[in-house]
Structure 1
Amino acid sequence: MASGDCRKEDSLEENRTDSGIDSYRSMLKSEEPREPSGDFSGPRDKFSTGEERLDSAYGSSSITVESLTEIVGDCTLSSAKDQAQISELSEQEENLLTTITEDGDTILHLAIIHEEEFIAQKLIEIFPRDVLDIQNNLYQSPLHLATYLNLTKVVKGLLEKGASLELQDQDGNTALHVACQHGQTECVTEMTREVSSSKLAPVLEVQNWRGLACLHLAALNRQHHIMNLLMKKGADLNIQEGTSGKTALHLAVELHDMKSVTLLLSRGANVDVAMFNGCTALHLAVGRQDADIADLLCQSGADTMLRNMEDETALDLADGNDDILALFPFDDIQISGRSVVGVKF
């Protein structure tokens, strides 16, 4: 990759205990579901046709908020029944609760899409764990959708019932990826709160189809609190994204995000990790003429003599910037095109 790439490469991003559903019907919202904001192509595609989603076939019925409530209301939700075992439901109840729409959604997906949290919580009580992990045609699990809509109590309920954190949607994102991209801090907290390090580690290492792990997404979106949460939970600070080998530190430098750079370095990020083209964070900082971040990297021990695949040191990218050149007091002496450090005459 040419030196210009070092300079100009763009940066990649209380359970309810009342009598049951009937007492809640009068409180249900009648509005259509909102279209979530943000640039997340998977769920955006799913939500962009809100009217169609309301009319999606569920068995032979048209689904509205009211009919969704009736479907759940027809099922026995009393504590006398073991609600965790679907095998104990009547045949009619089982058919209602396990029918899949043409979009691949279960009734739980639909409850979440309509943001009917109480209904969703009741369905989580009824469904066994395996049903909670059913993915729709966009490979979104209920946990993906609850996270995207920031329904923290639903996220908590799903996780307490054992919903998987490792499932990936059509873009390769886990629910934790979604939370990191959109700054859903409470959802991240729930997903990492009581999960063992051995169980969470593979989730933190999963890369989506753009090669990004959760820490990369948090860095790309300047989610400093989430970055801190992930690092406390053992996220690999030096994990490289799959397309060009950037670490979170490279991404933070590209964004001129001093706060992220400081946070990563204070947590022990390796300042000299090289991208696939050989560029270190210092190459990127100098190439972008960011003297402040370059200075911080040098103070953190960055090796000023490392060369990229174009055989360039960071100094070679300074382009006469006096503030940056001042960081390399001995590197301006060259013999045969190579810098000489500490030459005595």
Structure 2
Amino acid sequence: MINPNGFSKCEATLRARSRRRPLAEMLHLLSAVIVWLVTGTTISSLNKWIFAVYNFRYPLLLSALHMLTAIVVDYGLIKLRVIRHRGAAEQDLTPNAKCKVFLLSLTFCASIAFGNIGLNYVQLSFAQMIYTTTPLFTLAISSLILGKQHHIIKYTAMMPICLGASFSIMGEVQFDQTGCFFVFAATMLRGVKSIQQSILLQEEKINSVFLLYLMSIPSFCILAVAALALENWAMLESPLHYDCHLWVFILLSCLGSVMYNLASCCVITLTSAVTLHILGNLNVVGNLLLSQLLFGSELSALSCAGAVLTLSGMLIYQNSEFIVSCMDARKAKPEGTDFESESEDLCNSSRVTTDFTCFSDLFSLPNLSALLIMLLLSSNVF
């Protein structure tokens, strides 16, 4: 089939895949993904350690401290010009953009507060398995709100992801209904938050550091008021009575949350909201292993099977473009006589390069990591 611009669908797909990011942008994206994965794994374990080991029952206060740290760090980066601000200044933001930032703050507060509250009731491994369904919520919301059209392959990839999460729930050794509710609510709000971030970062062109600074101010106020109103301060001891190691872990958790949020903004700016959460499923193995190592969590065979299913869905989504291009190439073969000779020459000349690109994409870091995780979990099952 020939497009109106004279190129076949096969050729358009090959041309699209042949466009590669500049080296500097690729290094920026790679470093952001690594920081995001590392901090995402450590923050959940740190928070669970704070709640479980030190019996610190103030998740809203901890979330408020996260936002206060973000305000201090981002303000310092902006004032010291460590980060060159190329986005819109605060006074240049339209009322519509300011409203979007405030709505993002509300969603952000609810997501992290619900997530921390849920960790009080459920195991870290269970929470991480539920979080793997975030791409489904993000995909659905982007279709409903933004009107984005996604290929059927991407929706197909969501099936094993959700089925794997269901298996993990059924295989959970210590199931708690209240914790499950809060974790599911946090998962849905994570998807909404990512869509809101992508709109502000990609459409409003707001710098990631500046955006985090803007949304941290109302977020801190909301969480601080919620902590004062909802948490039991009568049981809070003097800070001097707590183990000094607790405050070290809280400080590390706060700094890690700032790095995590900044890295997530960078990844969304360079990719998409759905891709962010698909890559985030690689955090599953780190949190599962840390949950077993630090908290003695038991992983049943059904939970491990659920993790394998979830990661297989991630592999399908990660390589959806490669699958679509192969399908388009197969469909284009019977119609080869309809192609113009110039288009045929271009397809043939680029086929070797494209095949090599597809082959290298199959052995990319996310794919190899997911395959390694699946092998480890499968060995645990059998």
Alignment TM-score, normalising by the size of structure 2: 0.22
Of Structure 1 and Structure 2, the greater helix share is in 2
Alignment TM-score, normalising by the size of structure 1: 0.24
Indicate the structure (1 or 2) with the bigger Cα radius of gyration.
1
